[in-house]
Amino acid sequence: MEWAWLERSWSTLVDFLLAPTTLLGLTLLSLVSFLASLIGATWALRRLPVDYLLSEPDHYPLALTPTLVLKNLVGFVLFVLGVIMLVLPGQGLLTIIAALALMDFPGKRRLERRLMLRPRVFSAINRLRLRAGQPRLLSPDPSLTGD
């Protein structure tokens, strides 16, 4: 009897999640997040300089400006969408990389390199850049240059 409330709550949650309107809403949310991440990832990866993985940034911003806050906010939203897309349809890793490219925080470049220099990810980034009319990214790892 003491667990009856848990059973009722679970049943209510399952009924809610399996309702046609909930399934339609989740499908639309997945589609919108997929399209937003695809557009955002393409935009961010296309703007990277060719030597992005070879150089360290000159400085990290010290002052909070509206532009910096907006960039980090958009980057955070893309990051969350990318993490969600690791289990839902979409380009999860590419979206996470695009989010990291937008954001500014200490240790960012090291984390980006770690993700971007995975052979399959690096190849996908360069294919995307080539389709967008941009040159391939240069790699500090000679084994990745052959695609």
29 inside domain: no
37 inside domain: no
Quote the pLDDT of residue 57. 66
Instruction: Say which residue, 86 or 50, is predicted with more confidence.
Output: 50
50 inside domain: no
Q: What is the pLDDT of residues 84-107, one digit of tens each?
A: 878 876 677 777 877 887 888 877
Q: For helices 92-102 and 20-47, give the axis angle rounded to 10 degrees.
A: 50
Quote the pLDDT of residue 58. 60
Q: What is the pLDDT of residues 113-130, one digit of tens each?
A: 888 888 888 998 899 889
| Residue 60 predicted with pLDDT over 70 | no
As a whole number of angstroms, the distance between CA 85 and CA 81 comes to: 6
Quote the pLDDT of residue 136. 92
| Residue 76 predicted with pLDDT over 60 | yes
> Average pLDDT, stretch 5-34?
84
7 inside domain: no
Instruction: Say which residue, 125 or 146, is predicted with more confidence.
Output: 125
What is the CB-side half-sphere exposure of residue 84 using CA atoms within 13 A? Answer: 15
4 inside domain: no
Quote the pLDDT of residue 90. 66
Quote the pLDDT of residue 86. 82
79 inside domain: yes
Domain tally, the chain: 1
Give the residue numbers spanning the domain of 87. 63-140
Q: Kindly tell me the burial class for residue 6, based on how many C-beta atoms sit within 10 Å of its own C-beta (0-12, 13-18, 19 or more).
A: exposed
